[in-house]
């Protein structure tokens, strides 16, 4: 019965996207779940003039989106909104050609449903099973919500998309059109690791007890921690982003989930970003469970994990402990994402810790990432009231329970030594010490 319904809805990308109307808001699958065939078909309609204008909501657009709906020749045809600024749309946001929507990641599903609205959802999924279900694979996040609230849902089936358990399924009866495209899913790009990353990773590993449940954010530094955890035991995963470093630790028996207090022995995530080995590991793996970011990133849910450890990165921190992870050189450089979700959820868990890691300097050591105050207009991603541990290659600062004087000393002590004298002078001017 379901195979018959599948065949009825199966069509070509060009035919499928004819369901898109003028001015529709389109939401696409996140990162590795971008549907290249459907995106190209939408771009073709716009270039041919058959469709004049659409709106689009993106988070971390990769090549499939950037080469189609964010291409320069379609700037006047696509009104683009960004939920998290990254390399793919950073230039557009900084020049006013793309509009950033401030958010906490766990709130995006509600924002889409109640405030932004979704007309069309297109995403890559795994092949349908005998019961008629597809899996969202690497991208549950807000995509699963967009898929269910959209007027039109078009799925791009790819045999290389892993089938994942948890709350990651959608039924053929909920789908309007299906297309097939079995091209290789590109690896998620990984940044370059500086030599200091391993030093920072070792310092963070010493803060992680056996039996802890981990969240690691986007970036080289959080993932560098995984390389330093081989001597730990019975770690668990409740994370926004699942990646190759975690796969390696699971295979080595370091991550087992045996001491988790929520989703025992399950590796819980909302989006996966990595390589082909990661995709193969995830496929049909009963230990892997994916849920919407409204659940995974909900601070109240995060706090149910005892010994929850969150590890994220930042751009700069001031002497008060205010952390900026999204603003650089007068422009929106990144986004809040799930950082504050996990900062708050981890600290509220029993024996939990929130860790923010960063290199002490930028631009080949010429700029200190520890500053006396954030620039006017800079965004505070993690407020000083929430900052717990700060880690650089020069040390660890625990700000909880500390006075403003004690905080200033702690923060300056993890700055690069050549900037400490000036930072102490600034701290005196601010009457912090």
DSSP secondary structure string for all residues of 293-308:
HHHHT-HHHHTTSTTE
Alpha-carbon gap, residue 250 to 4, rounded angstroms: 39
How big is the chain by its Cα radius of gyration, in Å?
Answer: 22
Q: Which two structure tokens, joined as six digits, stand for 394?
A: 């020069």
Torsional sign, CA 56, 139, 222, 304: positive
Map residue 397 onto helix, strand or coil. Answer: strand
Token pair 């930028």 in the structure block, residue: 362
Strands 152-157 and 288-290: unpaired
Packing angle of the helix pair 404-413, 417-429 (nearest 10 deg): 160
Alpha-carbon gap, residue 91 to 201, rounded angstroms: 31
Closest by CA to 142, choosing from 112, 169, 98, is: 112
Alpha-carbon gap, residue 335 to 155, rounded angstroms: 28
Torsional sign, CA 382, 386, 392, 394: positive
Question: One of 34, 156, 240, 410 is an active-site residue; which one?
Answer: 240
With beta carbons less than 8 A apart as the criterion, state whether 213 and 305 touch.
Answer: yes
Alpha-carbon gap, residue 51 to 54, rounded angstroms: 8
State yes or no: is 240 an active-site residue.
yes
Alpha-carbon gap, residue 161 to 140, rounded angstroms: 12
Alpha-carbon gap, residue 24 to 367, rounded angstroms: 44
Residue 156 neighbours by CB distance under 10 Å: 28
Alpha-carbon gap, residue 349 to 301, rounded angstroms: 9
Alpha-carbon gap, residue 133 to 269, rounded angstroms: 20
Burial 315-328 (b: 16+ CB within 10 A, else e): bbbbbbbbbbbbbb
Which residues lie below 8 Å from residue 245, measured CB to CB, with a gap of 6+? 216, 223, 225, 226, 227
Alpha-carbon gap, residue 302 to 296, rounded angstroms: 7
Residues marked active site are found at: 240
């Amino acid at each position: 019965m379901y195979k018959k319904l599948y065949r009825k809805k199966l069509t070509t990308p060009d035919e499928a996207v004819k369901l898109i109307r003028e001015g529709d808001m389109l939401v696409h699958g996140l990162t590795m779940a971008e549907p290249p065939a459907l995106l190209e078909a939408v771009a073709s309609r716009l270039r041919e003039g058959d469709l004049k204008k659409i709106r689009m909501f993106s988070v971390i657009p990769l090549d499939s989106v950037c080469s189609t709906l964010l291409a320069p020749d379609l700037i006047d045809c696509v009104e683009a909104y960004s939920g998290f600024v990254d390399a793919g749309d950073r230039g557009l946001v900084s020049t006013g050609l793309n509009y950033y929507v401030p958010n906490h990641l766990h709130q995006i599903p509600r924002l889409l449903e109640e405030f932004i609205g979704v007309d069309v959802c297109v995403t890559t999924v795994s092949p349908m099973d005998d019961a008629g279900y597809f899996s969202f694979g690497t991208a549950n996040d807000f995509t699963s919500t967009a898929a269910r609230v959209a007027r039109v849902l078009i799925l791009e089936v790819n045999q290389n998309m892993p089938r994942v358990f948890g709350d990651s399924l959608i039924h053929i009866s909920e789908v309007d059109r299906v297309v097939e495209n079995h091209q290789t899913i590109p690896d998620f790009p990984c940044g370059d690791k500086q030599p200091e990353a391993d030093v920072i990773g070792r310092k963070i590993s010493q803060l992680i007890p056996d039996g802890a449940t981990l969240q690691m954010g986007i970036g080289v530094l959080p993932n560098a921690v995984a390389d330093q955890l081989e001597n730990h035991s019975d770690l668990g995963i409740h994370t926004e982003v699942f990646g190759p470093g975690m796969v390696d630790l699971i295979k080595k028996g370091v991550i087992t989930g045996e001491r988790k207090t929520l989703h025992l022995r399950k590796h819980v995530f909302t989006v996966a970003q990595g390589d082909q080995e990661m995709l193969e590991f995830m496929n049909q793996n009963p230990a892997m469970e994916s849920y919407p970011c409204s659940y995974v990133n909900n601070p109240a849910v995060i706090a149910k994990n005892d010994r929850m450890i969150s590890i994220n990165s930042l751009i700069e921190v001031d002497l008060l402990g205010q952390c900026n992870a999204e603003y650089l050189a007068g422009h929106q450089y990144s986004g809040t994402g799930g950082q504050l979700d996990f900062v708050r959820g981890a600290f509220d868990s029993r024996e939990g810790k929130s860790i923010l890691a960063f290199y002490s300097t930028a631009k080949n050591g010429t700029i200190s990432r520890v500053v006396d105050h954030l620039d006017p207009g800079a965004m505070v991603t993690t407020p000083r009231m929430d900052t717990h541990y700060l880690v650089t290659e020069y040390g660890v600062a625990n700000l909880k329970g500390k006075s403003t004087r004690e905080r200033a000393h702690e923060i300056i002590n993890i700055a690069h030594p050549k900037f400490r004298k000036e930072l102490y002078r600034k701290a005196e001017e601010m009457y912090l010490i």
